[in-house]
Amino acid sequence: MNTVRKAVRNTDGPVIEVTDLRRVYGGGYEAVRGVSFEVGRGELFALLGTNGAGKTSTVEVIEGLAPPAGGRVRVLGHDPYTERSAVRPRIGLMLQEGGFPSELTVSETVRMWAGCTSGARPENEALSLVGLSRRSGVRVKQLSGGEKRRLDLALALLGRPEVLFLDEPTTGLDAEGRQETWELVRKLREAGTTVLLTTHYLEEAEGLADRLAILHAGQIAVSGTPAEVTASQPSRISFELPVGYFPGDLPPLDSLGVTGHEVVGRTLRLRTNELQRAATGLLVWAGQTGVELRGLDVRSGSLEEAFLRIARDVSERDARAERSPRPGNPEDPQNPRDSKNPQNPQDSKNSKNSKKKEHVA
Amino acid sequence: MSAGTATGTAPAAPTVTAVGRMTSLARAELTLIARSRATFFAAVFVPLVLPLSVRSTVEDMDLKAAGLSVGSVILPSAVGFSLLFAVYSSLVSVYAARREELVLKRLRTGELRDAEILTGAALPSVLIGLVQCLVLTGVCAALLDVGTPEAPLLAVLGLLLGLVMWPALAAVTASFSRSVEGAQVAAMPLLLVSMMASGTVVPFEVMPDRLASVCELLPLSPVITLIRGGWTGNLSAYDALAAVATALAWTVVAVFAVRKWFRWEPRR
């Protein structure tokens, strides 16, 4: 859909390159198992995923907060961990939870960060970008959750970053604040900022992202443009079977392009990749037969559908894992390669042995 | 308002220096100390009042035989209390509080390096400690007839070593706590041992020899020894070197421990 723009902007190679990224926590838990993707200049790439899918674990490595256990990451052509001084001045980032001293005012917080940021915007510019100008004299502890998120965003934008990392930027915002943040992110992208976004909100990804990937158990389950991901999902038709009718009374489902069906009580659910053909065939049959299809619901595949299907796979797999001692899903190509690196317990939340290996000096 | 980035232009070279970053952080940290009444009180007033309470004890000691005066006992003690309360104890709280508020984690996402974060956060406390030591020296000189230092360089060296060593020890201590309150508890052992056994209240010269030689290895001891020696001029070159070596050893061990164990995020 935006191949033209991408073709123009990709001339100087991807801004973010992730190749076979792995991340292993102290206890040996492999949170990221071979993730690869690229983000071109000016592109907005969204990472979606169920809880614990590895979104934050992945993003932390790309941000240079932790070294990978395996694989390769390049941001603006540099290793974000070992060459951080080349990368940090050119990126801006927002963590899931901001960390600001509660007793400083908004203005003092911005000034403190400005003193630590190359090419920082003036304070009033940074605050007016996120609509916090009038709150500049207020202590951080008195800000609402949404205002704290916006302060966090202002600091991420302080150095006019070429690459912006946003980890759930609109969590805690009301509908209006969310719209404003989306508008700002759109403007930034139009001005050429590359954005890597993680989010829980599917509409956020669908509305903002040029491309997206859905993570599942540390691997990318689906990726592509929102349209591609949506198109890969089957469409659905459901209705109540008319009284006295059975599925066998319908025209042969194959001939309608239906790929699967299930009956729940009186409700028949059909899955198809050819929604128009299936729906037409069904409605023509209903018209000719003179029956009413109560509760008729026809919907194309959606991102939500894709997401839910992946989430369902997770819970089915968990259920199977509980029944059988063998962990893992046979349909799920998780080959736990030997990348358990005990020397690499970088970890933010998973193990008691959570000691950073990074050096202080 | 432009939301533009530097796209299209050559990437700008970093325009902030390590010193600039640490200064910026230190200024914010100073504001925070001034706003936290408990920290401010503990850091500023306790070290100013403690030496007075020690005075009567010291006056009862038989110091003449050890070649000491009341002033040359109280002055190093006062500096020691300043390092313990204005620098060590308050920094343990600062590091723990910033960690629990996720401030350290957020700071690490920017251009600041880890050592810059810990140093920048320590600067205000170190500054308060330094000013306090100078004020205390002035007060002691005025009230206690301590005279002029015989070897001022030793005293300065002792103070500087202390001002580097104690922030590092504070960072180590903060690693072994889960909260600001826990950090204060974690600071107690070193605080108490240093107050009792590092020559602050009871000079090594009046301790039994064997006990003294063990106590001299405590982290505050070399600071006290060097400052007292600086005033009395009685410190042999060997003893001075031993004290410097002890101080350096503690600093190196502390820095190593911080690199290995310092926790930048709260435990979950």
What pLDDT, on a 0 to 100 scale, did the predictor assign at position B121? 96
User: A171 CA to chain B: closest CA distance, Å?
Assistant: 17
Are the C-beta atoms of B24 and A116 separated by less than 8 Å? Answer: yes
Q: Which residue of B has its CA nearest to A355?
A: B261
Assigned domain for B160 exists = yes
pLDDT band at A323 (very low <50, low <70, confident <90, very high): low
What pLDDT, on a 0 to 100 scale, did the predictor assign at position B45? 84
Assigned domain for B209 exists = yes
Cβ-defined contact of B106 to A95 (cutoff 8 Å): yes
User: A148 CA to chain B: closest CA distance, Å?
Assistant: 13
User: A60 CA to chain B: closest CA distance, Å?
Assistant: 10
Assigned domain for B243 exists = yes
- Cβ burial of A219 (10 Å; 0-12, 13-18, 19+) is middle
What residues make up the domain containing B118? 18-261
> Is a pLDDT exceeding 60 seen at residue A1?
no
Assigned domain for B217 exists = yes
Domains of chain A: 3-231 (3.40.50.300), 235-299 (3.30.70.980)
Residues of B (205-264) whose Cβ lies below 8 Å from A: 255, 258-264
Q: Which residue of A has its CA nearest to B11?
A: A90
Please, what is the average pLDDT of chain A?
Answer: 83
> Is a pLDDT exceeding 50 seen at residue A221?
yes
Q: Select from B2, B24, B265 the Cβ nearest to the Cβ of A115.
A: B24
Assigned domain for B6 exists = no
Beta pairing class for A235-240 and A194-198: unpaired
Among A25, A110, A354, A360, most B C-beta atoms within 10 A, so best to mutate, is A360
pLDDT band at A317 (very low <50, low <70, confident <90, very high): low
Instruction: Look at residues B239, B196, B224, B234 and name the one whose alpha carbon lies nearest to residue B78.
Output: B224
pTM recorded for the entire structure = 0.81
- For B174-186, letters b (16+ CB in 10 Å) and e give bbbbeebeebbeb
Q: How many CA atoms lie within 13 A of A188 on its CB side?
A: 30
What pLDDT, on a 0 to 100 scale, did the predictor assign at position B5? 43
Cβ-defined contact of A160 to B4 (cutoff 8 Å): yes
Which chain B residues touch A193 with a CB distance below 8 Å?
5, 7
Which chain B residues touch A97 with a CB distance below 8 Å?
102
Instruction: Look at residues B152, B170, B139, B127 and name the one whose alpha carbon lies nearest to residue B77.
Output: B139
> Is a pLDDT exceeding 50 seen at residue A6?
no
Cβ-defined contact of B13 to A97 (cutoff 8 Å): no
Instruction: Look at residues A241, A243, A247, A221 and name the one whose alpha carbon lies nearest to residue A232.
Output: A221
Q: Select from A63, A97, A187 the Cβ nearest to the Cβ of B102.
A: A97
Cβ-defined contact of A191 to B2 (cutoff 8 Å): yes
This model of the complex carries an ipTM of 0.87
Assigned domain for B163 exists = yes
Cβ-defined contact of A104 to B28 (cutoff 8 Å): yes
Q: How many CA atoms lie within 13 A of A360 on its CB side?
A: 22
Assigned domain for B239 exists = yes
Assigned domain for B114 exists = yes
Are the C-beta atoms of A306 and A224 separated by less than 8 Å? Answer: no
Cβ-defined contact of B35 to A115 (cutoff 8 Å): no
What pLDDT, on a 0 to 100 scale, did the predictor assign at position A235? 87
What pLDDT, on a 0 to 100 scale, did the predictor assign at position B13? 59
Over residues A132-168, the pLDDT tens digits come to 999 999 999 999 888 999 999 999 999 999 999 999 8
> How many domains does chain B contain in total?
1
